[in-house]
């Protein structure tokens, strides 16, 4: 065999996917056959990082990615008003105005999420015996507000982002070493709850409801130890989640209705958690948050 022919054959071997080391063969690693390995790696990577940073307890915050900050909502409303003024009979701009008005109404939940984690982080970071880190889905809206509140008092917070068809960027307030990117919802949900000591839920859509119902099911079936489950905004939740109706129809027990507690303000939520964890608070100072 001539040298040229020999080298050509060797080059073909080197270029074949079979010759790639297993850890470098991305097509194989992303195949159906290796799904179990990907699931294990996704669990282990995050678990290793949380152990490394000594994260043992978390308070989970769920809520809509669509809820805007008050500043953004007001700017959106002003933009909608300008369009309506210019096109008063246009149905599309009228729809935009209705959406903007709704965003302004819901924007106070952004502030409550931000205030809650601000106060909670201040409380728990001063109690070395019971430090709790905030964990969110890492995206915008309520998630951003929750990470932001912790960020503003210098506390660590976690973001569990996920790959979606429309890429969801991480919000800028997550602690960089605790910002994780998931492929699988199942592993993301597992990491939300493995260290969870409380769950705080703001208004949201399918994703928020899915996450809330999973916790309710785990607690109801005793697959998970009971934790405080606080729902912000009774008016919203009374319409979105009629637990009394489910109990009256025999679909859940009346005792299951008591798994959730309704709250309206950040101070109220922090007081409930402090009492549950037996952490001394003293009088909580109301936390105001400004623009920026």
Percent of the chain with pLDDT over 90: 75
Check if the beta carbon of residue 140 is closer than 8 Å to that of residue 9.
no
What does the block give as tokens for 121? 């982080």
Q: Is residue 249 part of a domain?
A: yes
**SS3 per residue for 18-61:** HHCCHHHCHHHHCCHHHHHHHHHHHHHHHHHHHHHCCCCCEEEE
Report DSSP state, residue 223. S
Question: What total of structural domains would you count in the chain?
Answer: 1
> Is residue 132 included in any domain, yes or no?
yes
Structural domain span for residue 246: 35-69+108-277
Residue 1 lies in a domain: no
Q: Is residue 94 part of a domain?
A: no
Instruction: Indicate whether 58 belongs to any domain.
Output: yes
Residue-wise pLDDT for 194-246, tens only, equals 999 999 999 999 999 999 999 999 999 999 999 999 999 999 999 999 999 99
- On whether residue 86 sits in a domain, the answer given is no
- Rounded to the nearest integer, the mean pLDDT of the chain is 92
CATH number of the domain encompassing residue 265: 3.40.50.450
> Do 195 and 227 meet the contact criterion of CB atoms below 8 Å apart?
no
The 10s digit of each residue's pLDDT in 12-60 is: 999 998 998 988 889 999 999 999 999 999 999 999 999 999 999 999 9
Note whether residue 14 is domain-resident: no
Q: In what order do the strands lie in the sheet with 261-263?
A: 179-182, 157-162, 133-136, 58-62, 196-201, 229-232, 261-263
Count Cβ atoms below 10 Å from residue 41 Cβ, excluding itself.
14
């Amino acid at each position: 065999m001539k040298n040229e022919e020999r080298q050509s054959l060797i080059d073909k071997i080197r270029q074949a996917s079979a010759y790639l080391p297993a850890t470098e063969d991305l097509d194989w690693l992303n195949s159906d056959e290796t799904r179990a390995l990907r699931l294990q790696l996704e669990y282990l990577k995050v678990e290793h990082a949380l152990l490394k940073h000594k994260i043992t307890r978390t308070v989970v915050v769920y809520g809509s990615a669509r809820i805007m900050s008050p500043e953004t909502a007001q700017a959106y409303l002003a933009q909608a008003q300008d369009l309506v003024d210019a096109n008063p009979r246009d149905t599309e701009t009228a729809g935009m105005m209705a959406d903007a008005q709704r965003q302004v109404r819901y924007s106070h939940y952004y502030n409550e999420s931000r205030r809650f984690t601000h106060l909670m982080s201040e409380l728990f970071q001063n109690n070395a015996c019971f430090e709790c880190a905030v964990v969110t889905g890492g995206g915008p809206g309520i998630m951003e507000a929750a990470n932001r509140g912790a960020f503003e008092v210098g506390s660590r917070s976690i973001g569990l982002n996920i790959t979606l068809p429309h890429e969801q960027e991480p919000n800028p307030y997550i602690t960089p070493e605790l910002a994780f990117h998931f492929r699988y919802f199942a592993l993301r949900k597992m990491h939300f709850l493995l260290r969870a000591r409380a769950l705080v839920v703001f208004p949201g859509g399918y994703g928020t409801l899915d996450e809330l119902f999973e916790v309710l099911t785990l607690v109801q079936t005793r697959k998970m130890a009971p934790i405080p489950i606080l729902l912000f905004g009774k008016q919203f939740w009374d319409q979105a989640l009629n637990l009394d109706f489910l109990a009256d129809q025999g679909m859940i027990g009346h005792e299951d209705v008591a798994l959730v507690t309704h709250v309206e303000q950040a101070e109220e939520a922090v007081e409930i958690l402090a009492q549950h964890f037996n952490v001394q608070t003293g009088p909580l100072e109301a936390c105001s948050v400004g623009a920026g």
